[in-house]
A and B are shown apart, each in its own frame.
Chain A
């Protein structure tokens, strides 16, 4: 590896219009070596962050989450840019997939600029920081027309107090793939804090590309994860997120339907018990006409668990014939638990089909009585209904092995935390 000179960052980065940026972050960013491809993304991401600063009280994007907690996590000292670190994104490339590191010079310009554009547009400050501070910037590309039969596993490992990680994945026109995404704490840090993973991944699907994606949150530590999907003409995304929560967890999913005929189906299944928390922040943006979006998020809350889902759909003026449906459902199995949902629709086109609903409910008494009247005891009846509730979100995923592993984790959490 060639030695690189440290250069000072461009002027705007220090002229602090936002007083609240912690010194830890400023100096961490400044200490990252300046490498051409990487710097294009990093600087754009840093500027996005710098223009916004850390989340402030009453920030709409952080309803239901503790601002002080997310601020304290994001202010933690970032890991030094140790390029050999085992933390961050881990994957094994397979035939059809090319992997690049933006720290070396071989990354195709098209990938760098696509990632840079995403960084410029990024509104989520945690994600901006992940891109700005991640020691590695990995870019992956699935070649046009390639069909990956086997699921492609991506693991994101955290190490120590804080890990920032960023990834960009380009699926070229007509390709198809299944991707699983697992966040694994490498070395959980004990004590009050625990490890913290701040990760950002951008997936750009070319024309008619198809992606089956499934993700599971880590069972421990704190995490802020941003998954950003950009769909070009006719691209299709099927997405499953599963979670049992942890002391702090925030998943942000953003989907941009850029061109006509793109389709997205997002599903989430969660069991949040004990004192765990799980927050989901979903943003679907219909930029173009004739796109379809579906959201079905289901969470079971028990113990003193807290779950919240903040789901927004934006339909641009030109996005006629949009078909967007959103359903956020919570099943409350305890009095101490808490669930919040905030479905929001911003529709600027007139010829669209949009529907949304949010429910927070207890077990259905009629269904329960029906099962019991056939001989099932209270426990079996409850568990059958809870499984059925989650099943609606889980069953659709084509990533069968991953889905079943996720189901087991959710059901185990149900048994333990009730």
Chain B
């Protein structure tokens, strides 16, 4: 079976600066991977490159999604194929209605699959169901996208979008940062609901706390643009107690 995501010796950066210095990673269907690492190690860069951010350049290497080369596809095409990026810092877009936008996003994905678009009424029903599941207040429905949301509300909105779009690969960039325990539980509930045999999830996190609620199959430590160590859930615990220094010292 082909992996959902396969990254081969990826070197990439931003405006002439090499940030990722040879990353290889394979995520099979049904798996949850976690990437941990110190600030500035390149975690967000990796997530944006997989999602297709136009400001980042790939120097060499490959990214395959369901065996298909991603690198020539624009971000919107990748999203329609089933890649979802939960942003570390979701941007506010005043004047763009949250649920309207989400319906457009949802329908763009359906169209890609050759399905008929969902009309506004049916979509509102679907949205209501997801909002209730994730305990999102109804007043967020018709606000501007992330407009005036607190940090935690923005993260929860990312998870809501993920729940609606049902991607085959979700990359969640520090979705757990800045959440209180209750919010963390709800976010985890959303992530676990996406955990299905034919989906894959890549969690980027600083804290082992999230991994108590979402059990990863693999944990990788990323530092200075390289994966220094991969292992099971135990590695996360080890990082939690020992920090990163023992790993970077080896490298």
User: Which of the segments A120-128, A273-281, A320-328, A374-382 contacts the partner chain?
Assistant: A374-382
Query: A25 interface residue, CB < 8 Å from B?
Result: no
B101 touches A384 (CB 8 A): yes
User: Which of the segments A85-93, A252-260, A362-370 contacts the partner chain?
Assistant: A362-370
Task: Pick from A372, A385, A391, A392: contact of B75, CB below 8 A.
Answer: A372
Given that A380-B104, A381-B76 are known contacts, is A373 also in contact with B93, CB under 8 Å in the complex?
A: no
Most B CB contacts (10 A, CB to CB) among A366, A375, A392 go to: A375
A392 touches B94 (CB 8 A): yes
Task: Pick from A370, A377, A380, A384: contact of B91, CB below 8 A.
Answer: A370
Task: Pick from B54, B79, B94, B144: contact of A374, CB below 8 A.
Answer: B79
Question: In the bound complex, how far is the Cα of B80 from the Cα of A388, in angstroms?
Answer: 23
B53 touches A369 (CB 8 A): yes
CB distance from B23 to the nearest CB of A (A): 20
A370 touches B95 (CB 8 A): no
B79 touches A367 (CB 8 A): no
Task: Pick from A373, A378, A387, A389: contact of B79, CB below 8 A.
Answer: A373
Q: Which of B70-122 contact A (CB under 8 A)?
A: 74-76, 79-80, 84-85, 87, 90-91, 93-96, 101-102, 104-105, 108-109, 112
Q: Which residue of A lies closest to B85 (CB)?
A: A373
Given that A370-B90, A373-B52, A373-B85 are known contacts, is A378 also in contact with B76, CB under 8 Å in the complex?
A: yes
Question: In the bound complex, how far is the Cα of B54 from the Cα of A242, in angstroms?
Answer: 34
Helix, strand, loop or mixed for chain A's interface? Answer: helix
Query: B194 interface residue, CB < 8 Å from A?
Result: no
CB distance from A316 to the nearest CB of B (A): 34
User: How many chain-B residues does the 8 Å CB contact rule pick out?
Assistant: 30
Query: A371 interface residue, CB < 8 Å from B?
Result: yes
CB distance from A377 to the nearest CB of B (A): 5
Which residues does chain B contribute within 8 Å of A370, judged by CB atoms?
87, 90-91, 93, 145
Given that A372-B75, A374-B79, A380-B104 are known contacts, is A392 also in contact with B91, CB under 8 Å in the complex?
A: no
Query: B51 interface residue, CB < 8 Å from A?
Result: yes
B93 touches A388 (CB 8 A): yes
Which residues does chain B contribute within 8 Å of A376, judged by CB atoms?
76, 101, 104-105, 108
Given that A372-B75, A373-B52, A378-B74 are known contacts, is A367 also in contact with B91, CB under 8 Å in the complex?
A: yes
A369 touches B75 (CB 8 A): yes
Which residues does chain A contribute within 8 Å of B87, judged by CB atoms?
370, 373
Q: Which residue of A lies closest to B100 (CB)?
A: A384
Query: B55 interface residue, CB < 8 Å from A?
Result: yes
Query: B165 interface residue, CB < 8 Å from A?
Result: yes
Which residues does chain B contribute within 8 Å of A366, judged by CB atoms?
91
B101 touches A372 (CB 8 A): no
Task: Pick from B90, B94, B105: contact of A388, CB below 8 A.
Answer: B94
A375 touches B93 (CB 8 A): no
Which residues does chain A contribute within 8 Å of B145, judged by CB atoms?
370
A385 touches B93 (CB 8 A): yes
Which residues does chain B contribute within 8 Å of A388, judged by CB atoms?
93-96, 144
A392 touches B79 (CB 8 A): no
A375 touches B95 (CB 8 A): no
Which residues does chain A contribute within 8 Å of B168, judged by CB atoms?
none
Most B CB contacts (10 A, CB to CB) among A371, A380, A387, A391 go to: A371
B55 touches A371 (CB 8 A): no
Query: B161 interface residue, CB < 8 Å from A?
Result: yes
Which residues does chain B contribute within 8 Å of A387, judged by CB atoms?
95-96
Question: In the bound complex, how far is the Cα of B93 from the Cα of A372, in angstroms?
Answer: 13
Given that A381-B76, A384-B96, A391-B95 are known contacts, is A374 also in contact with B90, CB under 8 Å in the complex?
A: no
Which residues does chain A contribute within 8 Å of B101, judged by CB atoms?
371, 374, 376, 384
| Closest CB pairs A-B (n = 7) | A388-B95, A375-B108, A374-B105, A375-B79, A372-B76, A372-B75, A391-B95
Give the A-binding residues of B (Cβ under 8 A).
51-55, 74-76, 79-80, 84-85, 87, 90-91, 93-96, 101-102, 104-105, 108-109, 112, 144-145, 161, 165
